[in-house]
Chains A and B, each alone.
Chain A
Amino acid sequence: QVQLRESGPRLVKPSETLSLTCTVSGGSVSSANYYWSWIRQPPGKTLEWIGYVFYTGSTNYNPSLKSRVIISRDTSRNQFSLRLNSVTAADTAVYYCARGVGIYDYFWGYWGQGTLVTVSS
């Protein structure tokens, strides 16, 4: 059973970079044909897809965030990561990492528990 767990700073200052890591167990970020994603949810609001990394390392991002986002994977640590720069209060949210249900799937069947990141000075 695939399990994911987010980790990283819970408080980030405005204009700085938000960095989170998703540690995967029970599966591998280099397993062929799976997508690994970051999704966020501001308090009381809906979900927003941030982007994903494919097992090959190729990425795809939400156009509204593309200029500020980098998602990468570390196969040696079986992790994938999110970097979001120039953050503002609008980036305060619960951040989830997730994996597609099966190969080539863009819908998310495995989720981390989520981590609340607050942007504040």
Chain B
Amino acid sequence: DIQMTQSPSTLSASVGDRVTITCRASQSISSWLAWYQQEPGKAPKLLIYDASRLQTGVPSRFSGSGSGTEFTLTISSLQPDDFATYYCQQYNTHQTFGQGTKVEVK
């Protein structure tokens, strides 16, 4: 099984901050990685796929990078709607999600 490890587990930030979340795979997954945002009580929302492709309708302040085993999600300027939990997902071999990173108000 491919394990996905996100860091940090919790991130405290303020509106306007640049935020970076890291996801590491236990083996190479090429660029077969997606990022999701989940608000409490709601279904996840796809942000990024193929490691760096922005899903239609997602604000350009979100960006993704990386390949192989190390990936990052960056929010260039945190907005009030961005306080949520973020998950990475590999789809190279079956599918696995990271444990999540909660972005909270500092």
Give A residues with C-beta under 8 Å from B.
46-49, 60, 62-64, 96, 98, 101, 105-109, 111-114
Contact = CB atoms under 8 A, between A and B. Distances in A.
A107 B42 CA distance: 17
Interface in B15-32: 32
Given A60-B94, A62-B94, A63-B94, A46 B46 contact: no
Interface of B: 1, 32, 34, 36, 42-46, 49, 55, 87, 89, 91, 94-100
Given A101-B49, A101-B55, A46 B98 contact: yes
B87 A47 contact: yes
Choose among B34, B91, B94 the residue with the greatest number of A CB atoms under 10 Å from its CB: B94
Contacts of A108: 34, 44, 46
Nearest to A105: B49
Given A49-B89, A49-B97, A109-B46, 19 more contacts: A47-B36, A47-B44, A47-B87, A49-B94, A49-B95, A60-B94, A62-B95, A98-B43, A101-B46, A101-B49, A105-B49, A107-B46, A107-B89, A108-B34, A111-B43, A111-B44, A111-B45, A112-B43, A113-B42
